[in-house]
Amino acid sequence: MAKTKKRASVGRVLWKIFVGLVTTVVTLLCVIYLGEKLLFAPFFVGARAEMRIPGLWSGFVTQGFDKVEEGTYLVSGYDKNDGPSSIYVYQDGKYTTCELFDEEGKANTTHAGGVAHFGQFVYVAHGEYCDVYSLSDVLDGDGKATRTDRVKTANQVSFCYVADGKLYAGAFYRAGSQYLTPDEHHLTTAAGDQNTALIMVYSLNETTGKLISESPEKLYSITSNVQGMCITDSGKIVLSTSWGLTPSKLLVYDETNAQTTTLTIDGAQYPTTVLDSACLTRTVTAPPMAEELVYENGRVTIMCESASMKYLFGKFTSGNWAYSVAIG
């Protein structure tokens, strides 16, 4: 009888410990969730959850985001376990996966970055290049797409965007990290800002998908930590910036008020539009780890990587969803 009572007592203690741990974890998660809503209250007041972010329980780490047409979107990223990079295709409210391969049939295990499309071509940012894939293969293939070409830029491309037949190939700079840019890409602006990276703009051949010229037709001088961009119907340029656990920013610029200058890159001179505080019209503070952007119907939707298995914390906050905010 004494042994039975002792076992029952130990069982009650273990049960109390278990209940205490569960209560603590649930309380902590509630604090984290509610804390984010309070910390970013101005963002969530006008924000709208648009779609779940794909691949969050695999090794997929979200990087790029692009709208093909109404209801069809591309989400690109790499695999944290060195598996194939891939593009998730969102159609009819659900995702399918397209893994990426090179011309020899070898899986692309690189750090695939941003994604954009032009006609029947899909561009995925990767170092100096944008890898080119067939849009039909990505949308309607057998779950994989083989690279058909590569377009070489004069930039280290981490994000990309296409508008009016032009490829915007942008670089990411972060001081003290491995993500640096050449000194000649840096600029102290008239407003006193320290711009540290460039977006290079190239015209695209609509038949071949190649660059019409290997030299960019113009440059944009930009700030540090830029992860993506889009252009609104009113011509505003929106850049997303993020790094680690710090809040993300959407920086909205009015190009008509921007300073223009000339930068010399590898001995050649290029007209350059300076995006700095002098033409900054609005800043939207958002949860951490914003990546590429999509603009449609007066709103900007933000893709995010915080809920991937690489970072995890976003699973307990807003990071499972792509949110949109109104930006005219």
Same domain, 3 and 103: no
pLDDT at 21 over 70: no
Instruction: With cut-offs at 50, 70 and 90, classify the pLDDT of residue 25.
Output: very low
Indicate which CATH number applies to the domain containing 129.
2.115.10
Instruction: With cut-offs at 50, 70 and 90, classify the pLDDT of residue 10.
Output: low
Instruction: With cut-offs at 50, 70 and 90, classify the pLDDT of residue 328.
Output: confident
Same domain, 157 and 184: yes
pTM above 0.85, yes or no: yes
Same domain, 160 and 287: yes
The proportion of the chain whose per-residue pLDDT surpasses 70, expressed as a percent, equals 89
pLDDT in tens, 42-88: 899 999 999 999 999 999 999 999 999 999 999 999 999 999 999 99
Same domain, 98 and 130: yes
- Please tell me the predicted confidence (pLDDT) of residue 6: 55
219's CB contacts (< 8 A; 6+ apart) are 198, 199, 200, 201, 263, 265, 270, 271, 272, 273
Same domain, 35 and 145: no
pLDDT in tens, 171-201: 999 999 999 999 999 999 999 999 999 999 9
pLDDT in tens, 94-113: 999 999 999 999 999 988 99
Same domain, 20 and 167: no
Instruction: With cut-offs at 50, 70 and 90, classify the pLDDT of residue 31.
Output: very low
How many Cβ atoms are within 10 Å of 122's Cβ, its own excluded?
32
Same domain, 104 and 210: yes
Range 284-310 average pLDDT: 97
State the residue range of the domain holding 27: 1-39
Same domain, 34 and 70: no
| Domain count for the chain | 2
Instruction: Round to whole Å and give the CA distance between 239 and 44.
Output: 19
89 with 113: CB under 8 angstroms?
no
Instruction: With cut-offs at 50, 70 and 90, classify the pLDDT of residue 143.
Output: very high
Same domain, 26 and 127: no
57 with 312: CB under 8 angstroms?
no
